[in-house]
Amino acid sequence: MPPNIILVHGEANEMGRLKQKLTSLFADGNTKIITPKNCQSVEMHFNSEKMAKTVGNLAEKTPEVGEIVSGLLVKKGFTYQIMASDDLHVFSQLSTANVTQRITIPYSGAFAVIQHRLKQIYESVESSTDEESGVPSLRVHERVTVKQESENHLCTADPISDMVSDSIVALVLNASREMPKVSVESETLMNEEEDAKKAEKIVHALLVSLFGDVKFGNDGKLVINVDGNVANLDKQTGDVECENEGLKERVRTAYRRIRSAVKPIPLSAA
């Protein structure tokens, strides 16, 4: 008889059906079943209190009352410690590791088309040849590598810039759909207005993936609704109007990162 059941990472309709089934199964108890949207915070209240000791770099400064301390919560036996990730190997037998992500995308068109499109979006796109395989490769914003792994696939790999990598994947998939009617020569004739429209579509799609309910307002602003809290986003300035300060900051931060990924990024600001 769990007090809380939270359903995550599922299609909305299927999650709703599962919630109804669980509600009937736990009808005799006080179980709370929640299906939060992406980025929606969920609070659970427990009667018992747990004490955690802050160690390492996090213990150098005494937090103020109500201040949030962010770190790793490590449990050993019945004791809890909060520490920075860099201190994990010092105060425990655990260690941290880096995960390198590699994405392979179906693509059978000309590699020059991808290179041309990326240069329209990003300020820094360097072309070269991979030393190991000898295939053409591109270095986007000095972080993300795009290689023509075979005649039918492209590969992107980068451990840090997930947002940049996601925008490249969207660009390649879009280019694949248009390939029968697109050539390098026709790509050069695309004007800035068409590029801006495609960028806006990518921005809107990424915001929908993060917050769910994103609509266009009458004044040209984007209206984002998360669990009853409404945020109005000005696409030109990036300003956000919202009574919920937490949602306001999340929308502002997400929009800034998305715009930096789909628009040319000055290297001086990196």
Q: How confident is the model at residue 240 (pLDDT cuts 50, 70, 90)?
A: confident
* pTM of this structure: 0.32
Q: What are the CA-CA distances from residue 9 to residues 6, 14, 39, 183, 208 (Å)? A: 10, 11, 11, 39, 15
Mean local confidence (pLDDT), 174-200: 60
Query: How, if at all, do strands 229-233 and 222-226 pair?
Result: antiparallel
The whole-number average pLDDT for the span 138-152 is: 80
Q: Is 82 helix (H, G, I), strand (E, B) or coil?
A: strand
User: Mind spelling out the 3-state secondary structure of 101-137?
Assistant: CEEEEECCCCHHHHHHHHHHHCCCEEEEECCCCCCEE
Q: Is residue 118 within 8 Å of residue 171, measured between CB atoms?
A: yes
pLDDT of amino acid 230? 82
| pLDDT tens-digit readout, 33-67 | 998 887 788 888 777 778 889 999 999 988 888 88
Q: Parallel, antiparallel, or unpaired: how do β-strands 102-106 and 136-140 relate?
A: unpaired
68-108 pLDDT, tens digit per residue, is 888 999 998 888 999 998 899 888 888 877 766 677 888 88
Question: In the prediction, which pLDDT does 161 show?
Answer: 64
CA distances for 16 relative to 19, 22, 35, 135, 253, angstroms: 5, 10, 8, 47, 30
State the CB neighbour count (10 A cutoff) for residue 248: 19
Mean pLDDT (whole number) for 236-259: 79
